[in-house]
Structure 1
């Protein structure tokens, strides 16, 4: 028998990323129920997987066929729904990034997980990528000796990848931000949203090599969506560039330079099932290369969720680490926003 998965929220990430990943692991997982506030979307998405559907979170959590809960709803609902999934005694809870919108909310999730013994996993897919995990086993003291970190995420709009990955039932409608783009408050809100919406994908990686943010030197929002950030901590410097543009060129890279080593990873776009990242690790001992695994980080994440639900593996990341990742992202977002509010973007 395979393990049943219930999705809270049936938007593009569920349709184009998670459902194909679960389908590729049909020897151990199946979709049991799909919930969405839009009944038509819930019904259409569930029909693709032969699953039950509904518009009620409570109904999904009461379904004994649902053993893993994936919280893929808007960020503001993550804490309440993750807490409820833990209280319902499910075997594992996956919460999409970010874990919560505030540290108080995140601590509520952590307490629910501790009180119930239900493991909570955050959908930071790159921390489950086979190339990242292989490099981690070999990089030695690079986290202690790192001096510079760079993350570049340059992509076409998500919609272009979504249409390659699946036929969306309904296009999501996002609120359009108004206001004068020269207004510091508008710019601050823009960069805060870009950090928590795009940069957050790589921030757990950045934190491994620059654990503490002391100051933000450059914070600049980009049009139509993106950011340029540089910040420092403990004598180390990070440069983060994120940009969604109207062409097709893409780059999703992560680089680290240390006293005696270098690391570079090139990730595939999230919505394209094109396998793992590739990684090159240079140390005094020479060059090591990893990657070209047929599975990407999402598949690795779902493999781990299945193993957790079956009791075959312990959680890969402690809840305390997930809280620290969120605290790091929120701190960086607030420091960048404050810099723009002070009128000192660069």
Structure 2
């Protein structure tokens, strides 16, 4: 008589924050992974939202982080709250002894917060991954595995001179609100001259430009910046050459990092065809990855590597980076895969913050 191991129960997942990312991205992804992961608890500061979203997943709900972290059925915590709460909640989840944490990007607001998170993660042994979904996309992963398979592609990582991230999406009110936020102007009187009015208008325009650039880098470009950094060994030495706003929401940012030229572009426009692609180009080879649009659950990216007359394509595969990050997290929580290096996460964040700060500074100097 032979015996077989008992099936492993799915790991319980709890969400801090039940907004659009949880509802439109993570719950559909988890619905395809019920053999390994199960939604157990939804927390949101709005009790009605928490209850409504939890009902879709047959999960418990609350409006308190402490209550979710005290739930023994929650083994993995997904942090999908506003950015300013990420560091506090990641640290609290580590202290609660959970098996793993998925934090939406950015996982901290500054490098000091990131270092505190890394220290607590090391102290508690709780692994963390950041939800930059393109780094988990099977199309991207297949391309990275192929670089050593042909001699003329091996130099792509070291010799790429141009790296581009280009994003065109339909209009998104969330980001447009960032770009067009109306600021209260100080009350004036009839004696205010036109120069004062013009100065106020110019100051508001500059503030909006700087906000668009910062939110664009930290909200959109940040998805691809870990990929950019893979090709940029001198990522700590950057110089932003151009930083422009594309209305109603978008940006064009050009920068140098060592010998690399980096172009970051995004636009939300109802007349252009949506696309999201990443390119790395050297003298002898080129990589292009066409990702599925954000929020679309439509399979993986397609990666194409070209050199001379030879071209190889990878993908599309059955699932995209959203599902990929959950597969990765489940394997890490189960102990079958090693967690990402915390220093690498800090470098990704440092790179993004440096670009955002330099773009904002350049925009201010040019005004």
Q: TM-score, normalised by structure 1?
A: 0.92
The question of 1:145 aligning with 2:159 is answered yes
The question of 1:157 aligning with 2:171 is answered yes
Could you say if the C-alpha distance between residues 51 and 174 of structure 1 is closer, same or farther in structure 2, counting changes exceeding 3 Å?
farther
1:22-171 equivalences in 2 (<5 Å): 22-139=30-147, 140-158=154-172
The question of 1:234 aligning with 2:242 is answered no
2:360 to 324, 337, 341: 337
Could you say if the C-alpha distance between residues 92 and 174 of structure 1 is closer, same or farther in structure 2, counting changes exceeding 3 Å?
farther
Could you say if the C-alpha distance between residues 50 and 336 of structure 1 is closer, same or farther in structure 2, counting changes exceeding 3 Å?
same
Query: Who is 2:194 aligned against?
Result: none
Deviations 1:142-199 (A, max 9, x none): 110000011111000347xxxxxxxxxxx99967623547633331122111111111
Query: Who is 1:165 aligned against?
Result: none
Deviations 1:301-332 (A, max 9, x none): 101111111111112x2111000000000000
The question of 1:206 aligning with 2:233 is answered no
Alpha-carbon RMSD across the aligned residues, in angstroms, is 1.9
Rounded to whole Å, the distance in 2 between the matches of 1:224 and 1:286 is 40
Rounded to whole Å, the distance in 2 between the matches of 1:66 and 1:247 is 44
2:345 to 322, 325, 337: 322
Could you say if the C-alpha distance between residues 107 and 196 of structure 1 is closer, same or farther in structure 2, counting changes exceeding 3 Å?
same
Tell me if structure 2 keeps the 8 A contact 1:12–1:172. Answer: no
Tell me if structure 2 keeps the 8 A contact 1:92–1:309. Answer: yes
Query: Who is 2:209 aligned against?
Result: 187
Unaligned stretches of 5+ in structure 1? 160-170
2:323 match: secondary structure: helix
Could you say if the C-alpha distance between residues 248 and 5 of structure 1 is closer, same or farther in structure 2, counting changes exceeding 3 Å?
farther
Rounded to whole Å, the distance in 1 between the matches of 2:138 and 2:308 is 23
Tell me if structure 1 keeps the 8 A contact 2:238–2:355. Answer: no
Rounded to whole Å, the distance in 2 between the matches of 1:218 and 1:343 is 10
Query: Who is 1:245 aligned against?
Result: 269
> Which structure is larger by alpha-carbon Rg, 1 or 2?
2
Tell me if structure 2 keeps the 8 A contact 1:184–1:343. Answer: no
Tell me if structure 2 keeps the 8 A contact 1:11–1:172. Answer: no
Per mean C-alpha deviation after superposition, the further-off stretch among 135-144 and 321-330 is: 135-144
2:146 match: secondary structure: coil
Rounded to whole Å, the distance in 2 between the matches of 1:242 and 1:96 is 20
Rounded to whole Å, the distance in 1 between the matches of 2:109 and 2:322 is 22
Tell me if structure 1 keeps the 8 A contact 2:169–2:275. Answer: yes
